[in-house]
């Protein structure tokens, strides 16, 4: 790892795969396993940086593609970099824009040179190559930066997945050569769809390149829980045990816990804030939709034992009113609660690993959360 970075395993589950650790970066430590809120355009929507800290957040994510379009990576640099621009003094991770190969499939073309997008703002073309992605991420100034990759959808013909793996490996080499800052850690992404041999090939080639950590991508693109469980189960053991493992774009509870059990350390997802903006709140007994009539006069907080600012001060009935009235406070308060729900889950996972209670904790968590499935 670069000198300013380290990861230390502090405890393991009885099976030996789930682990609790500490990732050190230039802007602070991250206790793992950890959840990373998504701040695509240099903000976690509606949530102040001070509030994120109060909720137990230690690392946030921003997206290179979106920031390269607006305001431009050079503008972010001139504004002092992402830390200054976001008002966040903790660690930041930037995705490279490779996920947009999947999410903007109708607006792009991919060659060995890079990804050419017809951008979603004004329709103008932009090309993201390994070299330009690294230049942009160096300008943005995040602690952890991701290599440009190709994320195939599910399902996809094997030939398409093979091509995605070939380009992902090619671009990882080029990203490493183009990366210029020693105070940023560059992590590559393992692709391969649901093809076990391609996952193995990609992982082994990337490990041979000796990066400081590794991500698993392409497992939140429509493949479902069972495929995700298989892919993570194949791939995580192929990655070095002394370095962090990051599963990208995964936020469903059952997906998180099976992945932690397989040895994954970091997760990001838009679900807590996106669902909050749509009037939904997480509880230990499952997600509730507060716009439903049943909550109209409900005096209870979202969750009785939750210590978040929302649950300390607002009832379900009040939150329903705010959501039904389209008041901007509703998505803010629900996002705050949902983020705290996630950080509490991860605090519990870390504690259970340290205490030797991981399997029992996970079983109780799943039994309650999915009791009505």
Q: Which residues are catalytic?
A: 95, 268
The whole-angstrom separation of Cα 2 and Cα 26 is 10
Q: Is 176 helix (H, G, I), strand (E, B) or coil?
A: helix
Residues 6+ apart with CB under 8 A from 194: 154, 223, 227, 230, 231
Structure tokens at 1: 């790892």
Cα distance between residue 291 and residue 279, in whole Å: 6
Residues in the chain: 373
**CA torsion, points 142, 127, 208, 201, in degrees to nearest 10?**
120
Strands 114-118 and 125-128: antiparallel
Q: Return the axis-axis angle of helices 130-140 and 158-178, rounded to nearest 10°.
A: 50
Q: What does the alpha-carbon distance between residue 31 and residue 121 come to, in Å, rounded to a whole number?
A: 37
Structure tokens at 96: 């490279």
What token pair was written down for 119? 């951008």
Please give the Cα distance from 81 to 136 (Å, whole number): 11
3-state secondary structure of 111: strand
- Written as six digits, the tokens of 66 are 């979106």
SS3 186: strand
Q: Which spans in 141-186 are helix H? A: 158-178
């Amino acid at each position: 790892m670069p000198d300013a970075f380290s990861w230390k395993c502090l405890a393991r589950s009885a099976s030996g795969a789930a682990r609790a650790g500490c990732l050190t970066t230039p802007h602070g430590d991250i206790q793992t396993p950890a959840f990373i809120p998504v701040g695509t355009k240099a903000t976690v929507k509606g949530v102040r940086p001070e509030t994120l800290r109060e909720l137990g957040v230690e690392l946030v994510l921003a997206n290179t593609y979106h920031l390269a379009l607006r305001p431009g990576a050079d503008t972010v640099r001139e504004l002092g970099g992402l830390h200054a621009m976001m008002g966040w003094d903790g660690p930041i991770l930037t995705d490279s824009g490779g996920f947009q190969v999947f999410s903007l499939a109708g607006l792009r073309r991919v060659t060995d040179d890079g990804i050419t997008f017809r951008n979603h703002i004004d329709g103008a073309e932009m090309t993201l190559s390994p070299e330009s992605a690294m230049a942009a991420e160096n300008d943005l100034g995040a602690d952890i930066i991701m290599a440009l990759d190709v994320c195939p959808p599910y399902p996809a013909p094997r030939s398409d997945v093979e091509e995605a793996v070939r380009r992902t490996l090619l671009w990882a080499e080029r990203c490493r050569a183009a990366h210029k800052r020693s105070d940023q850690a560059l992590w590559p992404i393992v692709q391969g769809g649901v093809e076990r041999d391609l996952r193995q090939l990609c992982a082994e080639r990337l490990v041979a390149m000796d990066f400081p950590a590794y991500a698993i991508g392409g497992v939140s693109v429509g493949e479902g829980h069972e495929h995700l469980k298989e892919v993570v189960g194949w791939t995580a053991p192929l990655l070095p045990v002394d370095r962090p493992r990051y599963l990208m774009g995964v936020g469903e509870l059952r997906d998180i816990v099976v992945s932690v059990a397989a040895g994954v350390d970091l997760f990001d997802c838009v679900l807590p804030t996106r669902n909050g903006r749509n009037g939904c709140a997480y509880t230990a007994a499952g997600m509730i939709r507060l716009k439903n009539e049943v909550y109209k006069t409900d005096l209870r907080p979202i969750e009785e034992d939750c210590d978040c600012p929302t649950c300390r001060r607002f009832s379900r009935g009040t939150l329903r009113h705010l959501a039904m009235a389209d008041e901007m406070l509703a998505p803010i308060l629900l996002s705050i609660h949902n983020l705290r729900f996630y950080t509490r889950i991860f605090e519990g996972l870390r504690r259970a690993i340290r205490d030797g209670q991981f399997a029992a904790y996970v079983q109780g968590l799943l039994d309650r959360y999915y009791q009505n499935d």
